[in-house]
A and B are shown apart, each in its own frame.
Chain A
Amino acid sequence: MTDVLASRSFRGPAADEAIESVHNDLDSLWLDVPFVGDMDQMTFTTAVIESASNIVQHAEPVGQDPVELGVDIEVQPALLQARVSAYNAQPPFGPMIPGSPDEESESGRGLALIEALVTTVTFQRQDATNTWVLTRTSQHG
């Protein structure tokens, strides 16, 4: 059985307010697990916010109901994991390959940044829900 040391869950409309809520959740989560190093906290927070922002900015709904954002974060011994989901969403548009924009581009760096920040990124789609699972092997534990 997985040993979960601390966790946070968010679910709500995929809107600007959700990003601030998830960020506040992360800040409070780290207070519960002070043994997680600053670098792990910083990188994982950035990856989760990038992923959640990607959903708020780009996810398109299936049908009439709006897209909802779900973020479930767990701290396990030596592992940080987040499931970042777009509920009631169409499949992501495009190949989901990290871009390499030129230095004047103002967008297109998010996916590459996420991949640089975490150990694994996997994508699942089931029942109109897109889920990105981010893990980072942590130095603690």
Chain B
Amino acid sequence: MEFSYEVKDSYAEVKADGRLNMVSAPKLREFVTDVIAGGSNRIVVNLEDTAFMDSSGLGALIGCLKAARQAGGDLRIAAVQPQVKMVLQLTSMDKVLTSYGSAEEAFSND
């Protein structure tokens, strides 16, 4: 899995390409922690190219969400693909990790 980020006007967009599994989950957490430490506390994780997520990946997203909130911001997810959506729904975490159609929409009403 590859990570990248881009600081936009009102948020930082993190892209995660590949499989978000037990191997990559700790790396996502580390990556987002670094982005937050760099001064961005409003994070959008763009999951457009995340074809797969397991419970480890979900745990990492929850960890990142908590880190963003502890820094006074928030974390939202965007462009969720069918398998990721299924995992979010089956674990009822779709109510906690708010999903948006695109990264641009995630903080557009704030």
Contact = CB atoms under 8 A, between A and B. Distances in A.
B57 to A, nearest CB: 10
Interface string B32-58: 000000000000000000001011101
A104 B66 CA distance: 8
Interface of B: 19, 21-23, 52, 54-56, 58-60, 62-63, 66, 82-83, 86-87, 90-93, 95-96
Interface of A: 16, 19-20, 23, 38, 42-43, 45-46, 49-50, 53, 56-57, 103-107, 109-110, 112-113, 116-117
A107 B59 contact: yes
Contacts of B56: 53, 57, 107, 110
B-side interface mostly: helix
Contacts of A112: 91
Given A16-B22, A110-B55, 14 more contacts: A19-B21, A23-B52, A42-B83, A43-B86, A45-B83, A46-B83, A46-B86, A49-B52, A49-B54, A50-B55, A103-B62, A105-B62, A106-B60, A110-B54
